């Protein structure tokens, strides 16, 4: 009786040990599988980007004072002008120029590299007014009817050169594009977004919108 009872408990113990090992192994394997599952990010399509962001822009306003002068061989015929010029320049990145080949994905590191179109000058809205005009007694002999247009053209080029040299306009256009696209791509499940640019920014000649104040007579 004692031997059969001891044998029974020994067998029961073996069964319990085997069952425990099986349950632990099952739980461990499930835990490992769940940890190994990686959510694959959604694919990045150029159409999705261009539909969300067709044109990303930035603006910078500059001003300058231009001096003009006209005179002839007649004594006391000098006419001096002072003209205040203000211009707002808009630059942007045209996302419709983005190609499928401009987007590279590294699925192992969940990294996206985008080669963005370069920023371009899109519009130049300018205006100005005559600050002062000093005419000598015989200035009628040397009056230049186009002097305001000439001063305005000089001021426009001076402001544009200053804005492009300073670089803030294109930096802001790039920054705005990078911020918006980075937010969009991170929402798709990627961890990092890098940006490249094809070359240095270029300027597209645009017929400016003018606003002039007629010179005093």
**What is the DSSP annotation of 3-64?**
HHHHHHHHHHHHHHHHHHHHHHHHHHHHHHHHHH--PPPPPP-HHHHHHH-SEEEEEEEEEE
What is the edge-to-edge ordering of all strands in the sheet holding 192-197?
103-106, 111-116, 192-197
Terminal C-alpha separation, the chain: 133
> Are 90 and 21 contained in the same domain?
no
**pLDDT value of position 199:** 64
Q: Given this model, what pLDDT does residue 69 score? A: 83
Question: Per the confidence metrics, is the pTM higher than 0.95?
Answer: no
112 in the same domain as 24: no
Pair 82, 141 in one domain: yes
Q: What is the pLDDT of residue 41?
A: 79
| Residue 133 CB neighbour total at 10 angstroms | 16
Asked if residue 149 and residue 110 are part of one domain, the reply reads yes
Whether 214 is covered by a domain: the verdict is no
**Total structural domains in the chain?**
2
What pLDDT shows up at residue 128? Answer: 92
Q: Report pLDDT for 73.
A: 74
10-residue mean pLDDT profile of the chain (217 residues): values are: 57 61 58 51 76 83 91 79 94 88 90 91 92 78 80 94 93 91 90 82 44 42
Judgement on whether residues 2 and 105 belong to the same structural domain of the protein: no
Same domain, 86 and 167: yes
Whether residues 33 and 52 share a domain: the answer is no
pLDDT at 27: 58
Domain of residue 68 covers 46-203
Q: Does residue 178 belong to any structural domain of this protein?
A: yes
| Residues 31, 53 within the same domain | no
- Based on the domain organization, do 13 and 67 belong to the same domain? no
């Amino acid at each position: 009786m004692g031997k059969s009872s001891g044998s029974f408990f020994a067998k029961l113990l073996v069964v319990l040990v085997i069952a425990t090992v099986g349950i632990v192994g099952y739980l461990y394997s499930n835990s490992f599988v769940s940890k190994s599952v990686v959510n694959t990010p959604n694919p990045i399509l150029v159409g999705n980007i261009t539909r969300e962001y067709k044109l990303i822009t930035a603006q910078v306003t500059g001003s300058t004072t231009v001096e003009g002068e006209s005179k002839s061989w007649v004594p006391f015929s000098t006419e001096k002008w002072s003209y205040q010029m203000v211009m707002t320049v808009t630059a942007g990145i045209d996302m419709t120029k983005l190609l499928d080949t401009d987007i590279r994905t590294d699925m192992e590191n969940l990294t996206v590299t985008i080669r963005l179109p370069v920023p371009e000058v899109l519009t130049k809205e300018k205006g100005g007014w005559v600050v002062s005009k000093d005419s000598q007694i015989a200035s009628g002999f040397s009056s230049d009817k186009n002097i305001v247009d000439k001063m305005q053209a000089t001021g426009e080029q001076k402001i544009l050169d200053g804005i492009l040299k300073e670089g803030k306009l294109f930096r802001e256009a790039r920054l705005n594009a990078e911020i918006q696209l980075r937010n969009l791509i991170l929402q798709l499940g990627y961890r990092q977004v890098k940006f490249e640019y094809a070359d240095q920014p270029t300027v597209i000649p645009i017929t400016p919108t003018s606003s002039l104040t007629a010179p005093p007579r």
